[in-house]
């Protein structure tokens, strides 16, 4: 197969990928579709065969010494959702935090000839690869900066849009300062063991969410790096956020105590996503955590010093609807399970079919609105729910 054949095959696969994104409902806007059509993704993953380069999947690029993925070219469907969240306008000046090249090229297409794109990454291998790929693909005017993304890029500020393509635990104060007063930042923000891409608009001195979507990215490195803490717990583990360092945790032996199973009376679809429910429980339950491993692949739980409860489902094989059930172990499991079930029923009755959670970000020390507050190093996140 010659170069011309490769080019035709790449164009055909690129068109097929766009049709797939449209059919899946992750791509809606013509301008974003045109950007995907214009940018040759295979040039940014040269080690991958063409069919892999144009699959709707992440392409892993680099691992650290422990085997953890620290660089990747993101899944196109997630990129499409985030690009539509960002609402890049012709002429916008855009900062991307977390590089790789491909998304920067898409941003450059959307910003147009009167716009500008700067992409920042802490890893010199990543920035070198991004620079080479962008040049080969015809995007030599994208600025590639090797720097810690937690500090943004003051040289190009202020920005109309900031797009973060690594999982962040905090909203760095410099990002807000480098954002125009009417600007928007899109960031995959980790909270209570789940990551949501949230589009925030700057409103005065704080940020207000405009849209959210569940996603997954490699974690931020450098000054902004923070990691969830998973405590060994029998054959499984309990995952807490870093701000939950002082949450009480029962001894592992509690799982050997007889379980108490308490049905909720609330039924959910077998494939129904429950992460909004889990975030509600995280907002209302002391000792909230996530159980992973063993027979518990990923379930919402809560702990005290002597008890543990977790949420599961029951039903027969083939049932389309499953009942949510709370299972508890320990001396105080009954009271803790009653509390969890009350919140499950409240969510079902008042919040399940609502617009979902909304988020605000204020500087630490600012006056906060009512809601569930999570303090980080530079910012405080407020979660609220509308019925």
Catalytic residues: 74
Q: What is the DSSP string of 282-351?
A: HHH-TTEEEEESTT-SSEEEEE-SSEEEEEEEE--TT-SEEEEEEEEEETTHHHHHHHHHHHHHHIIIII
Looking up tokens 């049932």 gives 319
Neighbouring residues of 118: CB distance < 8 A, sequence distance ≥ 6 = 93, 94, 95, 96, 142, 143, 144, 145, 153, 156, 159
3-state secondary structure of 164: strand
CB 207 within 8 A of CB 216: no
Q: What is the DSSP string of 227-243?
A: --EEEEETTEEEEE-GG
Q: Say how far apart CA 242 and CA 226 lie, in whole Å.
A: 8
Looking up tokens 């539509």 gives 84
Q: Which H helix or E strand runs over 73?
A: strand 69-73
CB 36 within 8 A of CB 65: no
CB atoms within 10 A of CB 355: 9
Q: Say how far apart CA 285 and CA 75 lie, in whole Å.
A: 33
Q: Say how far apart CA 108 and CA 114 lie, in whole Å.
A: 10
Q: Say how far apart CA 333 and CA 178 lie, in whole Å.
A: 48
């Amino acid at each position: 197969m010659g170069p011309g054949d490769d080019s035709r095959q790449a164009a055909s696969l690129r068109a097929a990928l766009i049709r797939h994104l449209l059919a899946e409902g992750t791509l809606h806007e013509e301008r974003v579709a045109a950007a995907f059509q214009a940018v040759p993704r295979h040039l940014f993953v040269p080690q991958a065969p063409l069919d892999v380069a144009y699959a709707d999947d992440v392409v892993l690029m680099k691992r650290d010494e422990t085997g953890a993925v620290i660089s990747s070219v993101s899944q196109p469907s997630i990129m499409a959702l985030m690009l539509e969240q960002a609402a890049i306008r012709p002429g916008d000046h855009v900062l991307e935090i977390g590089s790789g090249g491909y998304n920067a090229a898409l941003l450059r297409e959307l910003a147009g000839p009167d716009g500008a794109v700067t992409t920042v990454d802490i890893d010199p291998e990543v920035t070198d690869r991004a620079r080479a790929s962008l040049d080969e693909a015809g995007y030599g005017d994208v600025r590639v900066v090797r720097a810690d993304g937690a500090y943004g890029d003051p040289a190009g500020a202020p920005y109309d849009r900031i797009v973060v393509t690594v999982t962040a635990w905090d909203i760095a104060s410099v990002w807000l300062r480098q954002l125009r007063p009417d600007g928007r930042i899109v960031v995959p923000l980790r909270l209570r063991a789940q990551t949501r891409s949230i589009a925030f608009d700057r409103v005065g001195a704080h940020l207000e969410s405009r849209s959210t979507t569940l996603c997954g990215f490699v974690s931020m490195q450098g000054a902004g790096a923070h990691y969830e803490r998973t405590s060994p717990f029998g054959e499984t583990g309990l995952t807490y956020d870093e701000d939950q360092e002082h949450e009480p945790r029962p001894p592992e032996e509690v799982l050997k105590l007889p379980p108490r199973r308490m049905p909720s009376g609330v039924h959910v679809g077998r494939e129904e996503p429950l992460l909004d429910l889990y975030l509600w429980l995280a907002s209302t339950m002391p000792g909230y955590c996530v159980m992973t491993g063993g027979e518990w692949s990923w379930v919402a739980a809560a702990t005290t010093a002597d008890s543990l409860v977790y949420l599961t489902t029951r039903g027969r094989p083939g049932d389309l609807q499953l009942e949510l059930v709370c299972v508890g172990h320990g001396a105080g499991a009954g009271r803790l399970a009653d509390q969890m079930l009350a919140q499950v029923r409240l969510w079902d009755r008042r919040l399940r079919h609502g617009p979902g959670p909304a988020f605000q970000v204020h500087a630490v020390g600012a006056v906060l609105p009512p809601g569930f507050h999570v303090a980080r190093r530079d910012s405080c996140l407020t979660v609220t729910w509308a019925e």
